[in-house]
Amino acid sequence: MTVQTTTNKAGPFAGNNVVTQFSTTFRVDGANDLQVIYTDTTGIDIILSQSVYSVSGYGADTGITVTYPLNGGGAIGPLERITLLRTVSNTQATSITNQGGFYPKVIENALDRIVFQCQQLAEKLTRAVSTGLKHARPVRGVQFDLDQCGCGSGERGQCQYRLVDFSQPISRCFRRRSGAR
């Protein structure tokens, strides 16, 4: 079957102290191709161990259903989230021998895996910093303007940094200012 979806991520699903099942609309072939990510109330993401959730529907084109938590544990609360992410390895394990049998399903599964890898990269790019085409040189780092965010000391960790300029190396942000300790 063709790949009918353009995504490899379902969620984040907000908890409600009731729901314990979370579903995708995309195929996940096996346990090694899935990450279940729990986001706690402080916003920290934790990749869950396979021992704390169960999955039904591996290999189904219609998607999978994850049950979390297991063993009658309480459902996640309103400030917690679950995200389901298909993560396939960037390998190609299909070997087609000369004058061997032709199995269209093997070819189709290999092509599907390539699409899964492309979707995985596309999802990662949605979380990446990108520059316009007008930049003639590669971006070397991220510049934070410490004075603009109210950090008079120039010391790391003293204030909240504000993103200012992508074209300058990051080390420039933390240079010693005259009179600073």
Q: Is 4 a member of any domain?
A: no
Mark which of 125, 150, 165 sits at the end of a domain. 125
* Same domain flag for 148 and 166: yes
Domain that holds residue 170: 134-181
* Same domain flag for 110 and 154: no
Over range 48-55, report the average pLDDT.
94
pLDDT at 26: 93
* Same domain flag for 141 and 180: yes
pTM higher than 0.75: no
Q: Is 2 a member of any domain?
A: no
146 to 16, 41, 129, 140, 169: CA distances (angstroms): 40, 29, 20, 19, 14
Instruction: Tell me what the pLDDT averaged over the chain comes to.
Output: 78
pLDDT at 138: 56
Beta strands in 28-168, from DSSP E residues, in sequence order: 34-39, 45-47, 54-56, 65-67, 81-86, 143-144, 163-165
pLDDT band, very low/low/confident/very high, at 135 (cuts 50, 70, 90): low
pLDDT band, very low/low/confident/very high, at 134 (cuts 50, 70, 90): low
Over range 39-56, report the average pLDDT.
94
pLDDT at 175: 43
* Same domain flag for 113 and 139: no
Over range 154-161, report the average pLDDT.
44
Total count of domains within the chain = 2
Q: Is 3 a member of any domain?
A: no
* Same domain flag for 16 and 94: yes
pLDDT band, very low/low/confident/very high, at 9 (cuts 50, 70, 90): very high
Q: Is 175 a member of any domain?
A: yes
For residue 155, is pLDDT > 80?
no
